Amino acid sequence: MAPQIEDSLISPQFYPLGKAATSESRFGSLSIPPKDEPFALHGEYLSDPHPNKVNLGIGVYRTEDGGPWPLNVVEEAEAQLHRERDEGRHEYLAIQGDLDFLPLARDLAFSLQEHELGLQRGDKDRIVSIQTVSGTGANRLGAEFLARSLKPCTVWIPEPTWGNHHAIWELAQVQIKTYPYYDFEGKCFNYGETAQLLANEAKGGDVVIFHACAHNPTGADPSKEQWMQLANLCQTKSLFPFFDLAYQGFASGNLEEDAWAIRHFLQSRPQLEFCVAQSFSKNFGLYGQRTGALHVVTTSDTGKVPQAVLANLNLLARSEYGMAPRSGSDIVKIVLGSKELREKWHGDLKHMSGRIIAMRQALYDELVRLGTPGTWEHILSQIGMFTYTGLTANQALAIRERHHVYMLQSGRVSMSGLNTKNVCYTAKAIDDVVRTVA
Between 114 and 345, where is the model more confident?
345
What's the pLDDT at 119?
A: 47
What's the pLDDT at 58?
A: 86
Q: Which CATH class is domain 37-69+342-436?
A: alpha beta
Domain regions of the chain by residue span: 37-69+342-436, 92-337
pLDDT digits (tens, 9 = 90+) for 62-113: 888 888 889 999 999 999 988 876 667 778 899 999 999 999 999 999 987 6
Q: Is the pLDDT of residue 408 over 80?
A: yes
- Nearest residue to 165 (alpha-carbon basis) of 194, 140, 148, 198: 140
Average pLDDT over residues 376-387: 94
Per-residue pLDDT band at 22 (split at 50, 70, 90) = low
This prediction has a pTM of 0.90
Least reliable range by pLDDT among 56-65, 146-155, 315-324, 382-391: 56-65
Tell me the residue length of the chain. 438
What's the pLDDT at 121?
A: 59
Average pLDDT over residues 377-404: 96
Q: How many CB atoms lie within 10 A of CB 16?
A: 12
What's the pLDDT at 120?
A: 55
Residues with catalytic roles:
162, 244, 282
- Nearest residue to 130 (alpha-carbon basis) of 164, 93, 157, 162: 93
3-state per-residue secondary structure call for the chain: CCCCCCHHHCCCCCCCHHHHHHCCCCCCCCCCCCCCHHHHHHHHHHHCCCCCCEECCCCCCCCCCCCCCCCHHHHHHHHHHHHHCCCCCCCCCECCECCCHHHHHHHHHCCCCCCCCCCCHHHHHCEEEEEEEHHHHHHHHHHHHHHHHCCCCEEEEECCCCCHHHHHHHHCCCEEEEECCEECCCCEECHHHHHHHHHHHCCCCCEEEEECCCCCCCCCCCCHHHHHHHHHHHHHHCCEEEEEECCCCCCCCCHHHHCHHHHHHHHHCCCCCEEEEEECHHHHCCCCCCEEEEEEECCCCCCHHHHHHHHHHHHHHHHHCCCCCCHHHHHHHHHHCCHHHHHHHHHHHHHHHHHHHHHHHHHHHHHHHHCCCCCCCHHHHCCCCEEECCCCHHHHHHHHHHHCEECCCCCEEEHHHCCCCCHHHHHHHHHHHHHHCC
Report how far apart, in Å, the C-alpha atoms of 117 and of each of 113, 126, 169, 189, 269 are: 9, 18, 38, 32, 18
Phi-psi region of 204 (alpha: psi -120 to 50; beta: other; left: phi over 0): beta
Average pLDDT over residues 186-197: 97
- Nearest residue to 168 (alpha-carbon basis) of 319, 324, 277: 277
Helix axes 423-436, 393-403, angle to 10 degrees: 130
7: amino acid identity, one letter: D
Phi and psi (nearest 5°) for 127?
-100, 125
Q: Is the pLDDT of residue 1 over 70?
A: no
Task: Please give the radius of gyration of the chain, using alpha carbons only, rounded to the nearest integer.
Answer: 25
Least reliable range by pLDDT among 9-23, 180-194, 204-218, 353-367: 9-23
What's the pLDDT at 57?
A: 92
Average pLDDT over residues 254-260: 95
Per-residue pLDDT band at 31 (split at 50, 70, 90) = very high
Least reliable range by pLDDT among 7-11, 93-97, 114-118: 114-118
d(CA 289, CA 280): 9
Q: Is the pLDDT of residue 419 over 90?
A: yes
Question: What mean pLDDT is reported for the chain?
Answer: 91
Average pLDDT over residues 220-248: 97
Per-residue pLDDT band at 265 (split at 50, 70, 90) = very high
The b-or-e profile of 33-43 (16+ CB within 10 A means b, else e) is eeeeebeebbe
Q: Which CATH class is domain 92-337?
A: alpha beta
Q: Is the pLDDT of residue 117 over 50?
A: no
What are all long-range contacts of 161-166, with beta carbons under 8 Å and residues at least 24 apart? 161/209, 161/211, 161/216, 161/217, 162/211, 162/216, 162/217, 162/244, 162/246, 163/36, 163/37, 164/136, 164/139, 165/139, 165/209, 165/244
Find out whether 266 and 299 touch, Cβ atoms under 8 Å: no
Per-residue pLDDT band at 54 (split at 50, 70, 90) = very high
Phi and psi (nearest 5°) for 23?
-70, 155
Q: Is the pLDDT of residue 34 over 90?
A: no
What's the pLDDT at 36?
A: 87
Between 148 and 13, where is the model more confident?
148
What's the pLDDT at 90?
A: 79
The b-or-e profile of 400-415 (16+ CB within 10 A means b, else e) is beebbbbbbebbbbbb
